[in-house]
Amino acid sequence: MDPSRKISNKEIIVSGLALFAIFFGAGNLILPPMMGLKAGASWPVALFGFLLSEIIFLFMGFQAAVYCEGDMKQFGRKYSRNFGVLLGIIIMLLIGPIIAVPRTAATTFEMSVLPFFPDFNPILFSLLFFGLTFFFSINGSSVVDFIGKYLTPALLIILVIILVIGIFSPLTSSDQVVENQLGAGFVEGYQTMDAITAVIIAATFLSHFREVGIQDKKSLSWTMTRVCGIACFLLALVYGGLAYLGAISSTFADPSMQRTELLTKIVEMTMGSFGKIALSLCTFLACLTTSVGLTHATSLFFRDFTKGKISYKLMVTVTTLVACAISLLGVDRIISLSAPLLFVVYPVMILLTILNLLDRGRISHWVYKFSISFTFIASVVDSIRAYGFKDLSLVKAFDHIPLAEYGFSWIFFSLLGVIVGYIFSKIKEKN
C-alpha cells in the first residue's frame, strides 16, 4: 500500500456526497420548515443559530476526529480514561437503534406511504424498510461508495426541484418579527444530532480512506476537510431553502401542525400532486441513506469497541431489529423521547470538541475536568427548565445565570470551568 497515495477529486466528491446523504435524514428534512414557520420574518436569524449548532460544530467535529484519529477513548482521555468511550456508547445508541435510525423509518412512513396508502400496515412497512437497511449495511466497506455514487445524486436532484419551485412560488413570507430566534434555532439544531456524531461518523470515513491507501496524517486531514466541506455546503443550502419555505407558509399553516404534515402541505401547495410524489421519493432516499449510514457506523463502532467479540453483522442485525420496533412509536413521540437526552449530551460534546481542537497538548487535564463537569450540571438544569419545570428550586437558582433564559447557562458554566481548571492546574504545578 502506497503511503503517499493521493485521492482523486472524483473520490472526494463521491465521499462528500455520501457524507451529505448520511447526515441529511429524517430530522434534517422536517425540522427547518417548522423552524422557519415559527420564526416568521426572523427566519434568517433562526437559520443562523441552526447552522451554528449543526454545520459549524459538525465541521469542527470532523477536524477533531483527525486529531484523535477517530478514537473516542483518545477524544475524552483528558477528562478520564474511559469518558470518551462512555460518551461514544451513549451517542451511538442514540443515533443507532434508539432514536435516529428508527426516526428515519417513522418519517418515511408518515411522508412517503400514508399520503398515498392510508391503511398500509406500519409493521409491514418497518419490516420492509429495515430489510433494505440490513441489505445495504451488511456490505460494510462498500456503503460509502454506494451511497455517494447512486443514492445521493437522486436525492439532490429531487431536493433541488422541490426547493426551486417552492422558492419561486407566489407565496409571501410573514412580516411578524419573533424575538430570541437565535437561541431557538441553535436548540432546534440539537434534534439533527449531527454535531454530536461527527467524530464517530468521521471514524468511518477515516477507515475508508485508509483502506483505499491514504495513510499520511496530513493527507488524511486535507482529504477529510474537503469531504466535510462539500457535505456542509450542501447541507447549508438545503437548510436555507427549507427554512424559507416554512417562513412563507404562514398563510395556510400554523405551528400546531406536525412537522411531517407541514412539509407535506408546503410541497402540495407549491407543486400539487407532482410535489407529493417528489417529496415521497425525496423522503425515502434521504431516510434510507441515513439509516444505512448510521447502521453501518453504529455496527463498526461496537465491533471495534468489543475487539470483534460482537461481529459487524451481528450488530447490524441487532440495530435493525431494535430500530424496527421503536419506529412504530411515530415521529413526534420519538422526538419527544430524544429531547431531554440531547439537552444534556449536546453541550458536553460541543465543549469536548472545542477543547480537542485547541489542545495540541497544551491544555491541562484539570481544565477538561472542571469545564466538562460544570457544563454537565448546567445542561441538566437547562434540560429541566426546557421541559416546563421552571418552579423547581434548583431551576430558579439558575435563573440569574447569564443566558439561562435562552437555555444556554451551560456556556457560562463552561467558561467558568475553564477558568477554575486553569487556576487549579497552576496551583498544582507550584505544589
pLDDT per position as a tens digit, 272-318: 777 788 778 878 877 887 888 889 888 888 898 888 899 999 999 99
Q: Closest by alpha carbon to 364, among 413, 424, 414, 410?
A: 424
Average pLDDT value over all residues in the chain: 83
Please tell me the distance from the alpha carbon of residue 306 to that of residue 298, in angstroms, as a whole number: 12
Please tell me the distance from the alpha carbon of residue 114 to that of residue 119, in angstroms, as a whole number: 7
Q: What percent of the chain shows pLDDT beyond 70?
A: 91
Domains and their CATH numbers in the chain: 9-359 (1.20.1740.10), 364-431 (no CATH)
Q: What percent of the chain shows pLDDT beyond 90?
A: 22
Residues paired with residue 177 on neighbouring β-strands, in sequence order: 40
- Asked whether the predicted pLDDT for residue 144 surpasses 60, the reply is no
User: What is the rounded average pLDDT of the residues 65-93?
Assistant: 86
Between residues 121 and 284, the one the model is more confident about = 121
pLDDT category, 145, cuts 50, 70, 90? low
Between residues 52 and 3, the one the model is more confident about = 52
Give the pLDDT confidence score for residue 414 in this predicted structure: 93
Summarize pLDDT for 348-395 with one digit per residue, the tens.
999 999 998 888 778 889 999 999 999 999 888 888 876 777 777 877
Which amino acid is it at 71? Answer: D
Reported pTM? 0.81
Cβ-proximal residues to 119 (8 Å cutoff; 6+ apart), any chain: none
Please tell me the distance from the alpha carbon of residue 214 to that of residue 254, in angstroms, as a whole number: 50
For residues 297 and 200, is the Cβ–Cβ distance under 8 A? yes
Q: Closest by alpha carbon to 295, among 427, 424, 200?
A: 200
Burial (CB < 10 A; 0-12, 13-18, 19+), residue 380, is middle
Please tell me the distance from the alpha carbon of residue 264 to that of residue 283, in angstroms, as a whole number: 10
Which amino acid is it at 57? Answer: F
Give the pLDDT confidence score for residue 156 in this predicted structure: 72
- Give helix then strand counts, H and E, for the chain: 19, 0
Give the pLDDT confidence score for residue 28 in this predicted structure: 79
User: What is the rounded average pLDDT of the residues 9-35?
Assistant: 82
